[in-house]
Amino acid sequence: MAFNLSDLVEETRLSLQAIADYGDHLFNPTVRLGVTGLSRAGKTVFITALIHGLLRGGRFPVFEAFATGRIARARLEPQPDDAVPRFAYESHVRTLTEQRQWPQSTTDISELRLVIDYQRPNGADRTLTLDIVDYPGEWLLDLPLLTKSYEAWSVESLALSRAGPRARLATEWHAHLATLDPLARADEQATLTSARLFTDYLRACRDERFAMSLLPPGRFLMPGNLAGSPALTFAPLSVPDEATAPNGSLWAMMQRRYEAYKDVVVRPFFRDHFTRLDRQIVLVDALAAFNAGPEALHDLQAALAGILDCFRIGRSTFFSSLLRPRIDRILFAATKADHLHHTSHDRLEAILKRMVERAVSQAEFSRAAVDVVALSAVRATREARVQRGHEQLPSIVGTPAEGEVANGEAFDGATEVATFPGDLPTNLDELFATGAAPDFKGLSHGTADHADYRFLRLRPPRLESSGGDTPYLPHIRLDRALQFLIGDRLQ
């Protein structure tokens, strides 16, 4: 990347921001905790449950400061960043506890400030400010675009769209693409159609049957307040090798908009938000990938590698100093562990660890501690043993969401059922063997009846009120996540 004046101005502005943040931290210790993960990984539910537990006194035996009674109280305070929407905590809690529905998922960045009054182990009273920043993981996958030309991005995106189950989903977009001449005059209507078909293709890849993860540019599926703007209206073209875009051509127009996307969307996000985070949790819905099939699992692994790349601390280019994260703890969390019997929780954790390990070993994490956990922010199931013949099978009991179907039965959203979720694979070498797709069948191969795994969407749990106050939200290992993410800051 070329050195230029605007980078230098940015560098100075960022340094001033860092000094301001540092001063703030000195007098008012603050942790900026990023919560990310791909669409429907469980960010909204995680943040809602975490805040609810801290405000209402949840059951957190592994969160030491809380369990030993050193936390006097936690309270919400006005969110400090004027340009970022507030995380809609109150309405999310009402949806969860009163309507027994899951809250509206993350579509844009949002933030909430929680202030924790606590006592140090030596008895001194202190306050920790926790700023929780919720943002789509898809946005992290845009980082590589900054060093990629429009032409290179086009070639890569087209190659990806011709492989595996993606090819089928890209048929309509490919057919339109074949009618376009990159050297012809710029045509707004052709660009609009191309961008629409390309976005439809990305959306189809994300559908739960395919559960693809690697779908940049991130804002095409998560446009936030930029929906419909030219910076989000472009698509790959089959551009000729070793030529340059003629002035006024369709190619030049797409190229300009691609560059605008980087300037208007990607750089500001990394500069203004990502680089200011101190701690990060990355939520991963591995079970959705198991539902969909081996390609989805493979794709998820590639997306995780992309996400991990953003946390590489030791990159030495000038460009990266603008975007260098200061994050010193990263937790990868496999969510929705309540879909599994507890005997499988460790297995889920081991699978995520394996997916992350490879990427971590390729990265330079000298300054950041990394850990992995399988958790459920809100536990929607309980465990039971169900007699089948002479055997007692470990099963989980929950209420499948309305419209879910299993073994030909459609659920009404009110009936509780016991299911045998199936054992996750134990042979991880086989599961992640390079070169070979893992050997299991998912929804992307046909009907649900032939899939090896079927994790149904469940309704949130019915909460037993012990009279008066809102009851606890049950969870699995949420306290372990809290201990890793902020436990040391409450010492």
Contact positions vs ligand GDP (CB under 6 A): 37, 39-45, 102, 105-106, 335-336, 338-339, 376-378, 380, 457-458
- Residue type (1 letter), 250: L
In the complex, the smallest distance separating the C-beta of residue 458 from ligand GDP, rounded to whole angstroms, is 5
Choice between 92 and 324, CB closer to ligand GDP: 92
In the complex, the smallest distance separating the C-beta of residue 37 from ligand GDP, rounded to whole angstroms, is 5
Q: Which two tokens stand for residue 228?
A: 């419909």
Choice between 206 and 312, CB closer to ligand GDP: 206
Distance CA 136, CA 266 (A): 13
- Please compute Rg for the chain using Cα positions: 24
Residues 262, 249: contact at Cβ < 8 Å? no
Render 263-293 in DSSP notation, one character per residue: IIIIHHHHHHTGGG-SEEEEEE-HHHHHHH-
Distance CA 187, CA 486 (A): 52
Coil, strand, or helix at residue 114?
strand
In the complex, the smallest distance separating the C-beta of residue 404 from ligand GDP, rounded to whole angstroms, is 10
Choice between 37 and 293, CB closer to ligand GDP: 37
In the complex, the smallest distance separating the C-beta of residue 47 from ligand GDP, rounded to whole angstroms, is 8
Which residue's structure tokens are 């460009």?
319
In the complex, the smallest distance separating the C-beta of residue 107 from ligand GDP, rounded to whole angstroms, is 8
Across the strands, what pairs with 249? 185
Choice between 132 and 458, CB closer to ligand GDP: 458
- What's the CA angle centered on 400, arms 431 and 352, to 5 degrees? 25
Choice between 284 and 356, CB closer to ligand GDP: 284
Torsion (CA) 285, 330, 357, 351 in degrees, nearest 10: -30
Choice between 100 and 358, CB closer to ligand GDP: 100
Choice between 102 and 251, CB closer to ligand GDP: 102
Which residue's structure tokens are 């050195």?
3
Choice between 190 and 214, CB closer to ligand GDP: 214
Choice between 214 and 239, CB closer to ligand GDP: 214
In the complex, the smallest distance separating the C-beta of residue 173 from ligand GDP, rounded to whole angstroms, is 25
Choice between 52 and 257, CB closer to ligand GDP: 52
Torsion (CA) 358, 364, 369, 372 in degrees, nearest 10: -20
In the complex, the smallest distance separating the C-beta of residue 277 from ligand GDP, rounded to whole angstroms, is 17
In the complex, the smallest distance separating the C-beta of residue 184 from ligand GDP, rounded to whole angstroms, is 40
Q: Which two tokens stand for residue 257?
A: 């908009």
In the complex, the smallest distance separating the C-beta of residue 192 from ligand GDP, rounded to whole angstroms, is 28
Phi-psi region of 217 (alpha: psi -120 to 50; beta: other; left: phi over 0): beta
Residues 236, 261: contact at Cβ < 8 Å? no
- How far is residue 217 from each of residues 146, 262, 322, 356, 426, measured CA to CA in Å? 11, 10, 21, 22, 34
In the complex, the smallest distance separating the C-beta of residue 299 from ligand GDP, rounded to whole angstroms, is 17
Render 71-93 in DSSP notation, one character per residue: EEEEEEE--S-TTSPBP-HHHHH
Coil, strand, or helix at residue 401?
coil
- Residue type (1 letter), 135: Y
Coil, strand, or helix at residue 130?
strand
Residues 428, 351: contact at Cβ < 8 Å? yes
Phi, psi for residue 276 in degrees, rounded to 5: -95, 0
In the complex, the smallest distance separating the C-beta of residue 219 from ligand GDP, rounded to whole angstroms, is 15
Choice between 42 and 487, CB closer to ligand GDP: 42
